[in-house]
Structure formats: C-alpha cells, structure tokens
C-alpha cells in the first residue's frame, strides 16, 4: 500500500511519499490515530492529502502549526495545495480577502 507521513496527530494533512492515483488507498505513517485514506483525486509525489474534512476558512495544520487557510471546502482524500489554500500571513488582507 502507498504511504503518507503525518507529522503530528493535530495535523489535518499528510504528505504522500509517492505519486498516488485517484481511488488508491494510502497508509498513514507517523501516527496511528488515522487509519487508511482513499485518494479522491491524483496526488503528486510529495504533495499533501486531507486526512479529514476541512471547511472553507479553516486553518491547514502541518508540523502541529498553521500553514495557511482553506479557500474552499476540502474533503478527506482531496489534494491540499495552492488551488484551495492561501497563506494567512502574506496573501490574506484584513477582512479575510485575498491580497
């Protein structure tokens, strides 16, 4: 089974260690809190997959730290990247709109 690595139990994303095709099952390394996840779409090598449902404007957590905010609802198993995440520090103006 293909693998992804989660760096903290608080993270809502994991990093896949090889390219994953739509429908493939992925085993989580790094924590036993999350079982396997099925990829809802292709995830490129080294990219992030949602390990739980994330609502729009919710924070993306990796390394047990916030790395950005969701700009759309993201379902478990979806690819988490620039198409659905913005930098909270350098892309979001006061009021929550993109710079």
Partner 1 sequence: METFKGYLRSDGSAGVRNHVLVLPSVLCSANVARRISSAVPGSVVASHNQGCAQLGDDFKQTRRTLINTALNPNIAAVLVVGLGCERVSPHELRDIIQDHGKPAEVIMIQDYGTVEAIERGIAIVKDMVKEVSKIERKEVSLSSLVLGMECGGSDFSSGLSANPVVGQVADFLAKKKGRVILSETTELVGAEHLLFERMSDESMKQRFTKMLQRMIDESLKNSRDVVDKENVPNNISPGNVRGGLTTLEEKSLGAMIKGGKVPIVGVKEYGEVVDAEPGLYLMDTPGYDVESVTGMVAGGATVVLFTTGQGTPTGHAIAPVIKITGNRQTAKKMSDNIDFDCSTIIYGEETLEESGRKLFDLVLRIANGELTKAEVLGQDDYSIWNVGIKL
Cβ atoms of 12 and 60 within 8 Å: the answer is yes
Minimum distance from CB of 45 to partner 1 (Å)? 8
61 vs 76 by CB, closer to partner 1 = 61
Minimum distance from CB of 5 to partner 1 (Å)? 7
Can you give the binding site for partner 1, defined by CB under 8 A?
5, 7, 15, 17, 29, 44-48, 60, 62-63, 65-68, 80-82, 85-91, 93, 98-99
DSSP of 6-25: -S-TT-SEEEESS-B-TT-E
């Amino acid at each position: 089974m293909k693998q992804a690595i989660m760096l903290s139990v608080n993270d809502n994303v994991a990093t896949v260690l090889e390219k994953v095709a739509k429908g493939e099952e992925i085993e989580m390394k790094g924590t036993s809190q999350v079982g396997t996840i099925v990829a809802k779409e292709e995830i490129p090598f080294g990219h992030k997959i949602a390990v739980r449902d994330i609502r729009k404007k919710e924070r993306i957590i990796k390394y047990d730290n916030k790395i950005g905010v969701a700009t759309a609802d993201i379902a478990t198993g979806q690819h988490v990247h620039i198409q659905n995440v913005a930098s909270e520090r350098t892309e979001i103006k006061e009021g929550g709109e993109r710079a």
